[in-house]
């Protein structure tokens, strides 16, 4: 045993591990994905609420306004549910980091040579994976119920969700870091943002029938553009201007989220 | 290995209140030393350790760790040190083997060496059967051994342990220490640990740095501290009317210090208790004073702390502020 140790690691620090940000991000992302890969069923927990909406709200929607939506309720509602899954999944992900603050794992990683920004970026990028998994399940489940599948639109739609999810995930981590000393605040703030964002995006019910102020408010909600873009994409229209607005909203969210996230992460040791 | 000069750390609590957690610590640690930083909660032990491990920046002063300045060359310092914090280094939702392997990769080992290293550490810290377990399913003792393993993956020349055995039962504490000392032997590591367990600092460390209110108030081997700052005590039980006679006799002992009478007990502070006790008993008997019981009380580090600060470490602990 002793000889093995001597041969593997006579640590001469400058010689080992030329560090690159990409490698660090890869390490952090892999670590974050381990629990998901070890226990793929954990993905389903994140889907409980959206699936309930799909199973219980969908039929009501069909009953009350099926006629006015056109193209079938599912074609309208499944894109909503995918955005909702993204919203629920990535906005709560900061809780994992909060837990690692409490247990000490985050502190351990802060003392390693990993760069601070990789600790945020790697985590945010990981959000893509559960999001893809969940979207694929929802789509597969809904095809037998009459969801029309436009493969090109769906693929672009998933990519769009991924970019948005990275941004929202980064915001969620930033929130976790900001409230790490009063952890109950995390859920309060998350819930406070969640429902206005959700309802003012026209995700559940079309806003066209709502009061004027709601329609104005929805213009300031990035999720509105995302929901519109996803609906357009699921209808098979990849080159519409709604899709372009969706990309703009997703990219701005991702850029802002990562900027804010990295800045808070740099101060996370105090 | 470590060299600090006038290291301070202030925490601004509010606009009107600033806590001076560390007030000018100058400390040198040579390669190979095993140093315990001892003090009550809130003394500044953890804050000092967090500065030395690059977690927080000092307010003023300098600190060189493993040859590099902690503020200007923190990444060089991080590569060369191992750190076992108060919490669990391994993520609770992760598996034991995954975390160790990942830690190796973080420190730049290639996958093969990281794997080999993981197996070695699992083996030597008696965690082999737990490699596939989730960290949250481990017992407290197992988790702490895993924390130590995480800190040793890259075989650092310098290991920091922040209250390594807090919360463990005596058996697990002893077991953890067996492992730490064996690892130290194997890698010829320098170890700096904080503790508020007196017996731990006493029996494990070769050098004890006593910290109180953010300052170093004593720094020596445990034996020297006790000899210089506390001394032995003789406890004699004598008949009710003989205390004053014994007190006179005790005052003539070589190296006699403070003498107290408490009921039928006489307490005498002396430099060398085991040598002084037979002399005092002999003298008492020659003077016709029967001695009912006699014992030598060797000082503890708590006596040292008491003599230095006027408070016992236990009192200081319960009155002290939460660890900063």
Any domain includes B246? yes
What pLDDT does residue B234 have? 87
Q: Is the pLDDT confidence value at A254 over 80?
A: yes
What element of type H or E holds B190? Answer: strand B190-195
Computed over every residue of chain B, the mean pLDDT equals 87
Which residues does chain B have within 8 Å of residue A123's beta carbon, measured at their own beta carbons? none
The rounded Cα B206 to chain-centroid distance in angstroms is: 10
Q: Is the pLDDT confidence value at A5 over 60?
A: no
- Res. B52 pLDDT band, cuts 50 70 90: very high
Residue at a domain's end among B201, B226, B251: B226
Cβ(B208)–Cβ(B60) below 8 Å: no
Any domain includes B303? no
Q: Is the pLDDT confidence value at B101 over 80?
A: yes
Any domain includes B318? no
Any domain includes B11? yes
Mark whether B14 and B121 lie in a shared domain. Answer: yes
φ/ψ of A140, rounded to 5, equals: -60, -40
Any domain includes B183? yes
- Res. A167 pLDDT band, cuts 50 70 90: very high
Per residue in B57-95, pLDDT (tens digit) is 999 999 999 999 999 999 899 999 999 999 999 999 999
Q: Is the pLDDT confidence value at B152 over 80?
A: yes
- B91 interfacial to chain A (CB closer than 8 Å): yes
What pLDDT does residue B159 have? 94
CA–CA distance, B83 with A93 (Å, rounded to integer): 27
Q: What is the mean pLDDT of residues B171-191?
A: 87
- Structural domain boundaries, residue B163: 2-226
Measured between alpha carbons, how far is residue A199 from residues A134, A145, A216, A223 in Å?
21, 25, 13, 10
3-state secondary structure of B86: coil
What pLDDT does residue A144 have? 86
3-state secondary structure of B274: helix
CA–CA distance, A190 with A220 (Å, rounded to integer): 18
Contact between chains at B113 and A104 (C-beta distance less than 8 A): no
Residue at a domain's end among B198, B226, B254: B226
Mark whether B74 and B221 lie in a shared domain. Answer: yes
What pLDDT does residue A156 have? 95
CA–CA distance, B153 with B158 (Å, rounded to integer): 12
Which residues does chain A have within 8 Å of residue B94's beta carbon, measured at their own beta carbons? 31, 34-35, 105
Mark whether B78 and B208 lie in a shared domain. Answer: yes
Mark whether B60 and B184 lie in a shared domain. Answer: yes
What pLDDT does residue A18 have? 62
What pLDDT does residue A66 have? 57
CA angle in degrees (0–180, nearest 5) for B233-B238-B243: 80
Per residue in A47-70, pLDDT (tens digit) is 777 888 888 888 888 777 655 555
What are the CB-based long-range contacts (under 8 Å, 24+) for A47-54?
Answer: A47/A85, A47/A134, A47/A137, A47/A138, A49/A84, A49/A88, A50/A81, A50/A84, A50/A85, A50/A88, A50/A134, A50/A138, A51/A138, A53/A81, A53/A84, A53/A204, A54/A78, A54/A81, A54/A138, A54/A142
Q: What is the mean pLDDT of residues B192-216?
A: 87
- Res. A142 pLDDT band, cuts 50 70 90: confident
Measured from the Cβ of residue A242, the count of other Cβ atoms closer than 10 Å reads: 16
What pLDDT does residue B290 have? 85
Q: Is the pLDDT confidence value at A20 over 80?
A: yes
Contact between chains at B93 and A9 (C-beta distance less than 8 A): no
Computed over every residue of chain A, the mean pLDDT equals 86
For chain A, the residues whose C-beta falls within 8 A of a C-beta of chain B are: 1-2, 4-5, 8-11, 13-14, 16-19, 27, 30-31, 34-35, 38, 96, 99-100, 102-105, 107-114, 269-270
Mark whether B24 and B161 lie in a shared domain. Answer: yes
Place of tokens 């948005």: A164
CA–CA distance, B40 with B314 (Å, rounded to integer): 8
What pLDDT does residue A1 have? 41
Mark whether B12 and B136 lie in a shared domain. Answer: yes
Mark whether B294 and B212 lie in a shared domain. Answer: no
Mark whether B74 and B179 lie in a shared domain. Answer: yes
Measured between alpha carbons, how far is residue B210 from residues A212, B192, B196, B225 in Å?
69, 13, 10, 10
What's the total number of domains in chain B? 2
What pLDDT does residue B48 have? 93
Measured from the Cβ of residue B193, the count of other Cβ atoms closer than 10 Å reads: 24
> Residue B306 region, left (φ>0) first, then alpha (ψ -120 to 50), else beta?
alpha
Residue at a domain's end among B175, B194, B226: B226
Measured between alpha carbons, how far is residue B170 from residues A138, A247, B55, B176, B200 in Å?
53, 60, 30, 10, 11
CA–CA distance, B41 with B213 (Å, rounded to integer): 10
Q: Is the pLDDT confidence value at A14 over 60?
A: no
Any domain includes B312? no
Q: What distance in Å separates residue B292's CA from the closest CA in chain A?
A: 55
Mark whether B137 and B281 lie in a shared domain. Answer: no
Q: What is the mean pLDDT of residues A98-119?
A: 93
Q: Is the pLDDT confidence value at B250 over 70?
A: yes
CA–CA distance, A217 with A113 (Å, rounded to integer): 45
- Res. B260 pLDDT band, cuts 50 70 90: confident
Mark whether B221 and B292 lie in a shared domain. Answer: no
Mark whether B123 and B52 lie in a shared domain. Answer: yes
Those of residues 48-67 in B touching chain A at CB distance below 8 A are: 50, 53-56
What pLDDT does residue A100 have? 93
CA angle in degrees (0–180, nearest 5) for B310-B312-B315: 115
Q: Is the pLDDT confidence value at A105 over 50?
A: yes
Instruction: Find the radius of gyration of the CA atoms of chain B.
Output: 24
| Predicted complex ipTM | 0.83
Q: What percent of chain B has pLDDT over 90?
A: 37
CA–CA distance, B270 with B234 (Å, rounded to integer): 7
Instruction: For residue B125, count CB atoms less than 10 angstroms from its CB and return exposed for 0-12, middle for 13-18, buried for 19 or more.
Output: buried
Contact between chains at A111 and B81 (C-beta distance less than 8 A): yes
Any domain includes B83? yes
Cβ(B190)–Cβ(B29) below 8 Å: yes
- Res. B207 pLDDT band, cuts 50 70 90: very high
Q: What percent of chain A has pLDDT over 90?
A: 53
Range of weakest confidence among A181-185, B130-134, B310-314: B310-314
Mark whether B279 and B158 lie in a shared domain. Answer: no
Per residue in A217-246, pLDDT (tens digit) is 999 999 999 999 999 999 989 899 999 999
Contact between chains at B120 and A10 (C-beta distance less than 8 A): no
3-state secondary structure of B212: strand
Instruction: Tell which residue, B91, B181, B247, has the closest CA to residue A31.
Output: B91
Tokens of A27: 């390490």
């Amino acid at each position: 045993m002793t000889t093995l140790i001597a041969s593997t690691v006579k640590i001469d620090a400058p010689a080992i591990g030329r560090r690159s940000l990409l490698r660090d991000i890869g390490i952090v992302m892999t670590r974050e994905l381990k629990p998901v890969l070890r226990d793929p069923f954990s993905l389903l927990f994140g889907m409980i609420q959206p699936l309930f909406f799909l199973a219980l709200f969908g039929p009501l929607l069909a009953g009350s306004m099926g006629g006015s939506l056109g193209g079938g309720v599912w074609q309208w509602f499944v894109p909503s549910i995918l955005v909702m899954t993204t919203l629920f999944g990535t906005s709560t992900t900061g809780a994992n980091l909060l837990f690692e603050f409490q247990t000490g794992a985050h502190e351990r990683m802060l003392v390693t040579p990993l760069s601070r920004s990789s600790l945020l970026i790697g985590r945010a990028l990981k959000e893509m994976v559960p999001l893809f998994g969940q979207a694929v399940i929802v789509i597969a489940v809904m095809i037998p119920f009459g969801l029309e599948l436009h493969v090109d639109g769906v693929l672009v739609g998933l990519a769009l969700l991924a970019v948005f999810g990275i941004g929202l995930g980064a915001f969620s981590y930033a929130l976790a870091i900001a409230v790490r000393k009063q952890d109950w605040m995390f859920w309060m703030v998350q819930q406070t943002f969640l429902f206005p964002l959700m309802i003012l995006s026209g995700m559940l019910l079309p806003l066209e029938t709502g009061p004027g102020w709601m329609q104005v408010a929805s213009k300031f909600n990035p999720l509105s553009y995302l929901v519109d873009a996803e609906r357009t994409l699921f209808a098979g229209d990849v080159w519409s201007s709604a899709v372009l607005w969706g990309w703009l909203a997703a990219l701005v969210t991702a850029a802002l989220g990562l900027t804010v996230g990295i800045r808070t992460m740099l101060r996370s040791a105090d | 290995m470590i060299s600090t000069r006038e290291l301070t750390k202030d925490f601004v609590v509010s606009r009107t209140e600033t806590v001076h957690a560390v007030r000018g610590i100058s400390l040198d640690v040579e390669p190979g030393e095993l140093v315990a930083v001892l003090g009550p909660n809130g003394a500044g032990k953890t804050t000092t350790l967090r500065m030395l491990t690059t977690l927080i920046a000092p307010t003023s002063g300098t600190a060189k760790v493993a040859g590099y300045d902690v503020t200007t060359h923190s990444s060089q310092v991080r590569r060369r040190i191992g750190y076992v914090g108060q919490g669990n280094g391994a993520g609770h939702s992760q598996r034991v083997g995954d975390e160790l392997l990942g830690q190796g990769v973080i420190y730049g080992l290639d996958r093969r060496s990281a794997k080999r290293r993981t197996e070695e550490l699992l083996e030597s810290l008696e965690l082999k059967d737990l490699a596939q377990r989730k960290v949250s399913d481990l017992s407290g003792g197992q988790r702490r051994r895993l924390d130590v393993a995480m800190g040793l993956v890259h075989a650092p020349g310098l290991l920091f342990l922040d209250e390594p055995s807090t919360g463990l039962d005596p058996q697990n504490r002893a077991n953890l220490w067996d492992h730490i000392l064996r690892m130290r032997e194997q890698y010829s590591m320098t170890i700096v640990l904080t503790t508020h367990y007196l017996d731990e600092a006493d029996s494990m460390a070769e050098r004890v740095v006593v910290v109180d209110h953010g300052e170093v108030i004593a720094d020596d081997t445990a034996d020297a501290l006790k000899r210089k700052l506390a001394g032995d005590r003789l406890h004699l039980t004598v008949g009710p009317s003989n205390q004053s006679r014994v007190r006179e006799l005790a005052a003539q002992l070589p190296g006699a210090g403070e003498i107290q009478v408490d009921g039928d007990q006489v307490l005498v502070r002396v430099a060398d208790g085991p040598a002084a006790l037979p002399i005092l008993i002999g003298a008492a008997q020659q003077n016709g004073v029967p001695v009912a019981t006699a014992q030598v009380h060797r000082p503890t580090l708590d006596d040292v702390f008491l003599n230095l600060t006027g408070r016992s470490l236990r009192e200081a602990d319960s009155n002290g502020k939460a660890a900063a």
